[in-house]
Structure 1
Amino acid sequence: MRIARRALPALLLAGPALARTPAWVPTLREGGYVLYMRHAITDRTQVDTGRLGDRAGQRNLSAAGIAQAEALSDAMARLRIPLRPIRSSPVFRASDTAAIMARGGPVDVTMDLVADDYTADVPGAIASARRAMGTPPPAGSNALLVGHIHVFGPAIFGRMLSQAEFPEGAFGVIAPEAAGPRFVSVLMPEAVIAAAQT
């Protein structure tokens, strides 16, 4: 599945708070979508080793990333957007983000959402993430999947996405349909936080 490069920027929701509540807020309040969230901001001085369970050998959330995840969690709560179930990659930057988003609720940590550099089967990781994005959430809710850019891009667009297209903390809005997951839009983290302040 491919999307024209010129089409993606038009779908991105970014920038300052809008005068009115953005149209995506009441839509997501009704549920029925899968939100694929890229983990929050990370410490780029750290290097991934590919060893699951080794926090010291992974790129983890920075202080800014923890603050970003907390702000996004608060924004989703203020906007009354239901997020259940919450599933996460086992890589710490994703599972830590998911725990913050869950606000004390359960998180299903699963290899279905693992990062490409933490598995020997990258095509399998992309396929499992695509299946997860195609699984409808319970009625009246939205599934939240917390994962990685290098899985999301190939699973949905058939190509890698740039950092600008899908930055840390962004949400890909996916409609799970019988034919497979359908891309709807990208919600930039700043837009989500701003929407809760209108």
Structure 2
Amino acid sequence: MTMRTFASLLVALLVCLPAARAQTSAPFVERLLTREQFRKLDDGGFVIYMRHGKTDPTRPDQPEPKFDDCSTQRPLNDEGRKMAADIGRSLRQARIPIADIYVSPMCRTRESAQLVFGREARVIVVDELFSSTNQTSEQKKPIIEATRRLMSAPVSPGRNRFILAHAPNLADTMGYFPKMEGTVVIFIPQGSGFEYVGSIRPDMWPELLR
């Protein structure tokens, strides 16, 4: 390679570097839901995604947890159970209309759903909403597909779709990992995709309900 050829390649590389940096996606920025946005949930048409209540970190999921054996999974702790029950009371106090309820098959999500909506509530357990933690890229594909589908499908006015699942599923679907267990995330479904509106941390409910 001649010096002239090398210099030309170097110039081309330097020219391309700014464009390469511009294409790098920015980190996700969490937005807290405002009271005005919260009131709009009464009108329906939203997807409400909740991360399960607080769990016991000293009892992690086994490498291959069994859906029907809660001893193989990280469970809710007492604080998480109270958290889920409090969120349920807040939803009822706000009179937010909930239509279909989709739940991950994990024990902590199914128990959270019972505490939020009551044991008699009709929930739809979707195996593909299983936590994507420790899954391979290939294993994550149906999880991401199911999550995206439920977040994107239109919802009729006067109704809201509720999904109770896991933070890693959102992270793999849209790059957002709600760090606080019990976080509720609001989306507007758009058919072929979805729009992020904002998040409700567990300690925000009293202020939103004022």
TM-score (norm 1): 0.83
Alpha carbons 2:50, 2:184 under 8 Å: kept: yes
Higher-strand-fraction structure: 1
2:92 maps to: 77
| Residue-by-residue CA offset, 1:29-72 (whole Å, 9 max, x unaligned) | 11100011000101111120122211011111100001000100
Q: Distance in 2 between matches of 1:28 and 1:193?
A: 16
- Aligned residue pairs total 182
1:12 maps to: 32
Q: Which moved more, 1:139-148 or 1:185-194?
A: 185-194
Question: Which of 1 and 2 has greater Rg?
Answer: 2
Q: Distance in 2 between matches of 1:96 and 1:141?
A: 23
Alignment of structure 1 residues 26-45 onto 2, 5 Å? 26-45=39-58
> Larger relative CO (CA 8 A, sep 6+): 1 or 2?
1
3-state SS in 2 of match to 1:12? coil
CA 1:89–1:118: 2 relative to 1, 3 Å: farther
Alpha carbons 1:33, 1:176 under 8 Å: kept: yes
Q: Distance in 1 between matches of 2:154 and 2:80?
A: 29
TM-score (norm 2): 0.79
Q: Distance in 2 between matches of 1:180 and 1:110?
A: 20
1:122 maps to: 140
Alignment of structure 1 residues 179-194 onto 2, 5 Å? 179-194=192-207
Alignment of structure 1 residues 41-190 onto 2, 5 Å? 41-49=54-62, 50-103=65-118, 104-117=120-133, 121-157=139-175, 161=177, 165-190=178-203
* Structural RMSD (CA): 2.1
Shift of 1:126: 1.3
Q: Distance in 2 between matches of 1:119 and 1:140?
A: 37
Shift of 1:3: 6.8
Shift of 1:22: 1.2
Q: Distance in 2 between matches of 1:47 and 1:114?
A: 15
Unpaired stretches in structure 1, ≥5 consecutive residues: 14-20
Alpha carbons 1:32, 1:136 under 8 Å: kept: yes
2:19 maps to: none
Higher-helix-fraction structure: 2
Unpaired stretches in structure 2, ≥5 consecutive residues: 1-23
CA 1:55–1:193: 2 relative to 1, 3 Å: farther
Letter in 2 for 1:141: R
